[in-house]
Amino acid sequence: MKFKSPPVNSLSLDFLTEFCISLEKLENDRACRGVVITSAIPKIFSSGLDITEMCGKSMEHYAEFWRAVQEMWLRLYSSNMVTLAVINGSSPAGGCLVALSCDYRIMAENPKYTIGLNEAQLGIVAPFWFKDTFVNVVGQRVAERSLQLGSLYPAPEALKFGIVDELVPEEKLQEKATAVMAQWLALPDHARQITKSMMRKTLLDRLVAHREEDIKNFTSFVSKESIQKSLHMYMEMLKKKKS
């Protein structure tokens, strides 16, 4: 599965909806046992949640958007397929979440590409299930420090802190992905799936149990004047950068 939503694969409502539909199709396709998630856009895996969806919209829109973000994570984190993130570019915030939710992460060996949950730098807070997904990958300490600082790690540091599992020269990513997928698919599906579910169930159940509350938190937080202001400023900054 190749993300291709120019210019930066930001996770808009449309993009998330399509992503979920694709995942569901593959999930129900018995011939498909694994999925590789990567980007068709050079230098960027995914820029994360689309900030335009969080700016100057109605409460209903915020709620619909957030439900789509939750849905994407619930499907991806609980997928019965082998999920492999091939991170061939930068991957901040929501883009990092997509990668963290896979079973294995290979990143291009390029220190210009960064990855991390940098929400704090934007003045916003990663929700508890972003945090818990992160803790499940890197442990409590690295998560606490990284989330507070909103750290974006260049690929070599991302490997050091365990955010990704392996670095590979960019031109060898595909070859490596094929080898890793083959290794995972060599296992009997049934045992692998039950094992995965056993490891992830607590966290998945937590969001399912608090889903509406989490939506309320998001909508009331994002609609605050101060937050709207800083998101606007951030968007202006991005626009200037582009031009």
Residues that bind its own copies (CB under 8 A): 103-104, 119-126, 128, 131, 135-141, 143-145, 147-150, 162, 165, 183-184, 187-188, 190-192, 194-196, 198-200, 226, 230
Query: Active site residue: 34, 48, 89, 94, which one?
Result: 94
Which of the following is catalytic: 11, 13, 16, 49? 49
How far is the C-alpha of 204 from the C-alpha of 136, rounded, in Å? Answer: 12
Burial class (CB within 10 angstroms; exposed 0-12, middle 13-18, buried 19+) of 216: middle
From 138, 181, 178, select the one nearest 158 (Cα to Cα): 138
Which alpha helices (DSSP H) does 57-210 contain, by range? 59-77, 93-100, 128-138, 140-149, 155-160, 173-185, 189-209
Annotation says 119 is catalytic: yes
Least distance in Å: CB of 141 to its own copies?
Answer: 5
Cβ proximity to its own copies: between 69 and 105 the closer is 105
Please identify which of the residues 118, 203, 207, 231 carries the catalytic annotation.
118
Q: How far is the CB of 162 from its own copies (least distance, A)?
A: 6
Those residues whose C-beta lies under 8 Å from the C-beta of residue 141, and which sit 6 or more positions away, are: none
**In the complex, what is the shortest distance from the CB of residue 150 to its own copies, in angstroms, rounded to a whole number?**
6
From 119, 147, 173, 231, active-site residue: 119
User: For 127, which DSSP code?
Assistant: -
Nearer to its own copies, 178 or 195 (CB): 195
- Give the Cα separation of 26 and 20 in Å (integer): 10
Compute the least distance from the CB of residue 227 to its own copies, in Å: 9
Q: How far apart are CA 101 and CA 49, in angstroms?
A: 15
Closer to its own copies at the Cβ: 15 or 103? 103
- Asked if 88 contacts 211 with a C-beta cutoff of 8 angstroms, the reply is no
Nearer to its own copies (CB atom), residue 6 or residue 188: 188
86 with 177: CB under 8 angstroms? yes
Rounded to a whole number of angstroms, the minimum distance from the CB of residue 30 to its own copies is 16
Structure tokens at 70: 């939750």
CA-angle at 43, arms to 40 and 46, nearest 5°: 65
Catalytic residue status for 49? yes
- Identity of the residue, 59 or 149, whose beta carbon is nearer to its own copies in the bound complex: 149
Q: Which two tokens stand for residue 2?
A: 């190749």
Q: Is 26 a catalytic residue?
A: no
Positions marked catalytic: 49, 94, 118-119
